[in-house]
Amino acid sequence: MTTQPMQFVPGSEFKRRAAEVVANPFLRKSFRGAMDFLIAKRAAQFPDPELLERQRTLAEEIRRYSLSRLPALLEQLEANLVKNGVKVHWAENPDEANAIILGICRQHDARLMVKGKSMVSEEVELNHAMDAAGIEALESDMGEYIVQLAGEKPSHIIMPAIHKTKQDIAKLFAEKVPGVSYTEDVDALIQVGRDVLRKKFMDADIGLSGVNFAVAETGSLCLVENEGNGRMCTTVPNVHIAITGIEKVVEKLEHVVPLYGLLTRSATGQAITTYFNVITGPRREGEKDGPREMHLVLVDNGRTQAYADEQLRQTLQCIRCGACMNHCPVYTRIGGHAYGTTYPGPIGEIISPHMMGLAATHVLPGASTLCGACGEVCPVKIPIPDLLIRLREEATHEAKPGHAPLVGQGAGKTTFASLAFKGFAFLYSRPALYRLFAWGATRFRFLTPSNQAGWTATRTPLKPAAKSLRDLLAERRIDERKSC
Amino acid sequence: MQRNLPAGPRPKDVYFFATCLVDLFCPEAGMDAIQLLEREGITVHFPENQTCCGQPAYTSGYADEARAVAKAQLDLFPENWPVVVPSGSCAGMMRHHYPKLFAEDPMLKAKAENLAERVFELSEFLLKVLNVKWKDSGKPTKVTLHTSCSARREMGTHLHARELLAQLDGVEVLQQSHESECCGFGGTFSVRQPAISGAMASDKADALKETGADAFLSADGGCLMNINGTLEKRRDSFRGQHLASFLWERTGGSGGKNGKGEKA
């Protein structure tokens, strides 16, 4: 099955795609309904704002602490995983990750891989690499299965097929799954997926999964899921390969508990998921199930760039709940595909520049009104608006002296914007000049252009008042003097 | 958002930082805000050299330019008086972002922190510092409130404005759907991403109008221009008014000068 390669999105492409979705009332209504549903589900899980605040503070502390010890924790994790019989691999970039996984597949003459949901596997375009090597990589999460069948990419990190309606899926299954006729009955549709996947689980040579939390102290990999497909992928095939980003490590098992509780409540409004897997090594002697061989691929892919900077490091606190996109008014208008990145929405805007470079992504940190809804709901308190502002600066300027440039540093710089803001600073830092400007802008308001670029596309032109506040105050002073 | 309020008696003097939008685009709202303060027996000082808080450059990633503009405001408020701002986002900029902007210069940082501590959004100041008690003098009316995002999340304006409006017997405040959602202005976002911004503004205008209110109120010039401009382009007669003007009119101010329907 062919998947689309990662699509790099220069500014105009993002704008064009966003405009397309915005102009589609059906999609608009569908996204709005889906996000409203998720927002309400989450809200119902957090009736006590003070308790939520304490939980968020604790979760933030755990993530900050874990990141502060990241190199040591990764070494500890590796040592304990090896002790548990897990082979650990390090991949600096997507190509390396894919080569490692392909290598393992070849060792086992693998023809079929079943996949649990893994955004890191999306990030490295694993399906594409497997496809090119002639290995079938089949998504077993229902949402992922749907987007794979449609030849698309996930549009949301938790609900990959949220852009699809029941009717879309009914049509897709009838077209693509042999022997299936059109039905809008959701249970029947789910059963179609189940029937296809059940056999594949049994036939698969390799099971691949992501990781939600990697516990250094015990060498355990925690996997959060609802469908049981994660457990199937990690226990039925003879070989289990887990893939994750290097930031997912925590020190102790007890650190997982508060994070897990916030993850599921923030993501889907569930107090707990149907399945929570703690995987501590392959099948041991005397055990009757579980994979005979287990691997972990730890992927960097730009994370160390974020890690190197104290402020940008906060990006790595993310536990991938998706609440920021559910609450984002921009995401709600345009959906996930417009971003053209593995991770859409606010978290995507701050993490994609590290993964794909600013040359491809410089427009994304600007795709936000900085309304702050994302930061407000983030369970680990990532100050997303501050990071967006920071990346806007990095996207339009050279690196500051003493700072290593980010990949694609300054790629979004334009002469027009630089001059405009220089002009802004020149005018507004000179009070006398500003007063002259205000005097002119009000007296000559009839000269205000009626076409004001993007502003007047949907609004009437901005026109200064006939008199500024300064003028009104000056007139009042004169009136007062007269009446004395 | 919780902060220490000035202890002791009511302040007798305040500085007024009008913001560039109010100065040029809705000066009447500025006048009404000043008069609301003066009626409480306060001398309002308007530093003539004020321009803009620097937010457009700051949020666009042009920190040096924002710093230059912000620096020009730092010395305008030498007395230890409160600085009242009729805009939640500009107040938020001065209160929360100035200290960060000058983090690397100890002297300017101290100045910025001193100023930040004294900055109040207008409704916050009227309610929390002056503890105004008003009597409504207008005809019964229905309004709905739109609070800018930084006013909401950085200054708590939605709560303050609501409490002030609750003092007015003839005013019914209606709840819009998706109340806490952004109107799509976002400063330069509105011109950088016109399609998304326009869609958000349009949805916000719908939500406000669907309440059946006579008008909507906002304490932020940016949101007012965005939503009113959208309504006007649609040839819709529904309009928003600056909170300060509404409060001034309802509580016995001269009224009519910035009446409903006037474009902010």
What H or E segment, with its residue span, contains residue B95? none
Average pLDDT, chain B: 93
Best B31, B35, B48, B65 member to test A by mutation, with max A CBs in 10 Å, is B65
- All residues of chain B having their beta carbon less than 8 Å from the beta carbon of residue A330 are 193, 196, 200
For chain B, the structural domain boundaries read 13-129, 141-250
- B182 touching chain A per CB within 8 A: yes
Residue contact B195–A23, C-beta within 8 A: yes
- Can you tell me the distance from the alpha carbon of A251 to that of A62, in angstroms, rounded to the nearest whole number? 9
Task: Give the per-residue pLDDT at B158.
Answer: 87
Task: Give the per-residue pLDDT at A1.
Answer: 38
Which residue of A lies nearest to B69 if distances are taken between CA atoms?
A: A429
In the A/B pair of chains, how many CB contacts fall below 8 A? Answer: 193
Contacts of A464 (CB under 8 A, 6+ apart): A438, A441, A442, A445, A448, B24, B25
Residue contact B229–A462, C-beta within 8 A: yes
Q: Which of B26, B49, B230 sits opposite A465 (nearest CB)?
A: B26
Distances (CA, A) of A12 to A332, A340, A360, B19: 20, 12, 11, 33
B141-250: CATH topology: Rossmann fold (3.40.50)
Task: Give the per-residue pLDDT at A423.
Answer: 98
Task: Give the per-residue pLDDT at A466.
Answer: 96
A11-304: CATH topology: Rossmann fold (3.40.50)
Task: Give the per-residue pLDDT at A167.
Answer: 94
Residue A371 falls in which region: left (phi positive, over 0), alpha (psi -120 to 50) or beta: alpha
Residue contact A472–B149, C-beta within 8 A: no
Task: Give the per-residue pLDDT at A5.
Answer: 42
ipTM over 0.95: no
* Six-digit token string for A218: 């015990």
Where does the pLDDT of residue B88 fall: very low under 50, low under 70, confident under 90, or very high at 90 and above?
A: very high
pLDDT tens-digit map of B120-167: 999 999 999 999 999 999 999 999 999 999 888 988 888 999 999 999
Residue contact B196–A330, C-beta within 8 A: yes
Residue with tokens 């390396």: A96
Residues 118-147 of B with CB under 8 A from A: none
Q: Is the pTM of this model over 0.80?
A: yes
Which residue of A lies nearest to B192 if distances are taken between CA atoms?
A: A454
Q: Helix, strand, or coil here: A229?
A: helix
- Can you tell me the distance from the alpha carbon of A342 to that of B12, in angstroms, rounded to the nearest whole number? 57
Q: Helix, strand, or coil here: B4?
A: coil
- All residues of chain B having their beta carbon less than 8 Å from the beta carbon of residue A469 are 18, 22-23, 27, 30-31
Low-confidence ranges of chain A (pLDDT < 70): 1-11, 484
| Percent helix / strand / coil, chain B, rounded to 5 | 50, 10, 40
pLDDT tens-digit map of A105-144: 999 999 999 999 999 999 999 999 999 999 999 999 999 9
For chain A, the structural domain boundaries read 11-304, 422-483
* Six-digit token string for A441: 């802008």
